[in-house]
Amino acid sequence: MAVTTKQLAVIVGALGIISFIFGVAAERHKPLAGEPIQGKGVVICKYPSDPSIPYGYLSAVFLVACSGVGYFSLFYPYQGKSVPQSAFFSSHKFTIFFNIAMVTAGFAAALLLYTTISEHFLLTHNVHHDLDTQCPTAKTGLLGGAAFASLDSALFWLVALMMGTNVREDYFGETESGDDYGDANSVVMVG
C-alpha cells in the first residue's frame, strides 16, 4: 500500500495535536511553588506530585516526531516519482513556509525543553543554603506558550506540505484531474 500525502498530513496533524495536549497538560499540572522546610542551615523544598516533567518531555518527543514526519512528507517520492529538492526551493512560497515550519519547530522544542529541564532541575535540587528561598518552580506560562508554538509548528508543516504538493504538480505538469498544464486543448479564450 502506497503512502499518500493525505495520510502523512493526518499523521503530522495528529502528532502536533498530541504535542499540544501534553504541553497544555504540563502547564496545567505544574505547581506554583514548593513548601519550604527549615533545616539546620538549609531550606529543603518539598514539592507536590508533579506530572508536568513527563508531560513536558512527551510534548517535546511528539513535537520532534511531528517535525520529522513533516520533513519526510515533503520530500517523499509519492507513487515512485521523486522531485529534486532544487525544484521545491525554487518556489518562494514553499521556501517561506518550510523555513517558518523549521524555525517554529526549533523555537517550540527549545522552549519546551528549557522549561521542562529547568523544572526537573529545581525539583531534584531541592536543598538550598539561602534561608530566604521561596522554593521556586519554572516560570509559569512557558509550557503553555511552548504548547501553542508546537501546534503552530504542526500547522506550518501542513501548509508547507500543501505548497510542496503544488510544486510537485508543477514539476510533473499535472493538475488534480491529470491534465497536462501545457495541453493546448485546455486553454480557455476569454473574449
The number of folded domains in the chain is 1
Asked, for residue 41, whether it belongs to a domain, the answer is yes
Asked, for residue 55, whether it belongs to a domain, the answer is yes
Residue 182: the pLDDT is 41
- The three cell numbers of residue 55 are 508531560
Q: What is the span of the domain harbouring residue 59? A: 5-172
Residue 174: the pLDDT is 57
Model confidence over 9-30: pLDDT tens digits?
A: 999 999 999 999 999 999 998 8
User: What residues contact 156, with CB distance under 8 A and at least 6 apart?
Assistant: 97, 100, 101, 104
Residue 1: the pLDDT is 57
User: What percent of the chain clears pLDDT 90, i.e. is strictly above it?
Assistant: 49
Asked, for residue 19, whether it belongs to a domain, the answer is yes
Residue 185: the pLDDT is 40
Asked, for residue 165, whether it belongs to a domain, the answer is yes
E-strand ranges in the chain read 35-38, 43-46, 127-128
Q: What is the CA 151 to chain-centroid distance, rounded?
A: 6
Residue 191: the pLDDT is 43
Asked, for residue 58, whether it belongs to a domain, the answer is yes
Asked, for residue 131, whether it belongs to a domain, the answer is yes
Whose CA is closest to 119, among 57, 64, 39? 57
Could you report the average pLDDT of every consecutive run of 10 residues in the chain (191 residues)?
85 96 93 80 82 94 96 88 88 93 96 92 80 79 93 96 90 57 41 43
User: What percent of the chain clears pLDDT 70, i.e. is strictly above it?
Assistant: 90
For the chain, the first-to-last Cα distance in angstroms comes to 47
Asked, for residue 177, whether it belongs to a domain, the answer is no
pTM of the shown model: 0.82
For 182, what's the count of Cα atoms within 13 Å in the CB-facing half-sphere?
Answer: 4
Asked, for residue 46, whether it belongs to a domain, the answer is yes
